Amino acid sequence: MLSTVTSKGQVTIPKEIRDLLHIRSNDKVDFVLDGDRVLLVPVKTLLDLRGAVRARGKGDFSEERARAKTAVAKRVREEMK
């Protein structure tokens, strides 16, 4: 499929490709160099994954959130050494 580059360096991703990769308006994409080719990779965020896993129960997630923040802080401290 061909697409024309505009004077601003923009291209339109063909609808078939957008549909295949589930790319919607305002989604982020990454351009990855692979030798002499460029790959277009959709970037998914945590919000895109919301609802992908069923919760085991209902409850307050503040403890889990606190554990996650502590783990991230620990990892950042270690990386900064």
Domain that holds residue 26: 1-50
Residue 45, pLDDT score: 80
What is the pLDDT at residue 61?
Answer: 77
Residue 65 domain-assigned (yes or no): no
Percentage of residues in the chain having pLDDT higher than 90 = 57
State the pLDDT at residue 57.
67
- Residue 20 confidence class, pLDDT cut points 50, 70, 90: very high
**Phi/psi of residue 27, nearest 5 degrees:** -70, 155
The confidence score (pLDDT) of residue 52 equals: 75
Our CA dihedral for 65, 71, 75, 78, rounded to 10 degrees, sits at 140
**Where residue 35 sits, what CATH number does that domain have?**
2.10.260.10
Residue carrying the six token digits 């900064």: 80
- Asked if residue 37 has pLDDT above 90, the reply is yes
In angstroms, rounded to a whole number, what is the distance separating the alpha carbons of residues 68 and 18?
Answer: 34
Is residue 80 domain-resident? no
Q: Does residue 40 lie within any of the structural domains?
A: yes
